[in-house]
Amino acid sequence: MNSLYRDAISELGSVVDRIDDSAVDTACAMIGAAGTTVLYGLGREGLQLRGFCMRLFHMGRQVAMVFDMTTPPLGPGDLFITCAGPGFLSTTEPLMKIARGAGAKVLLITAQPDAQLAPLADFVLLVTAQTMADDQLATASRVLPMGSAFEGALFVLFEVMIAKLKARLGVTAEAMRARHTNME
């Protein structure tokens, strides 16, 4: 493997090394306790959330993405998960307010410890990584551009969360496979 691949993996490794595992456990507990979970994210963060949503569905969870035709309403006992790596996205704020107003819990995933959206969340899961908010600083990544370190770390985080949720909820790989589409 050439050094560019190793450098990219090293950058991602340094991000995931800083994730607080007890915070991940708290986020998993919120997901496990939720009746319905609805997720929202933009751009490449949104793509990572879509993959996570799919795996939660495979686990038998009642789950959807905001703006999908089949997204159910949220209410008490439900969970809204949103991702705002830079700490604020103008479309995320009103959705967080809607979810809270309906009585749902809100989980925010961000790279910014002082995220402007944090006060609207019941819990903040911090993934300290470069995003578009800080990609022009002198400390910016020399390999992974823009928000790629954050987005790549989300993939790893979500796969670990699925592994933790499988154990927490007693879901088998066979049960997940049985929920995979046969329309391929």
Distance of alpha carbon 158 from alpha carbon 12, whole angstroms? 14
List residues with catalytic annotation.
151
Structure confidence at residue 44 (pLDDT): 92
Structure confidence at residue 86 (pLDDT): 85
Residue 53 covered by a domain: yes
Question: Domain holding 78: CATH number?
Answer: 3.40.50.10490
Tens-digit pLDDT profile for residues 59-68? 999 999 999 9
Total count of domains within the chain:
1
Distance of alpha carbon 36 from alpha carbon 135, whole angstroms? 35
Residue 163 covered by a domain: yes
Tens-digit pLDDT profile for residues 1-29? 679 899 889 888 999 999 999 999 999 99
Q: What range does the domain containing 91 cover?
A: 19-133+143-170
Residue 26 covered by a domain: yes
Residue 104 covered by a domain: yes
Structure confidence at residue 144 (pLDDT): 75
pTM listed for this prediction: 0.93
Residue 138 covered by a domain: no
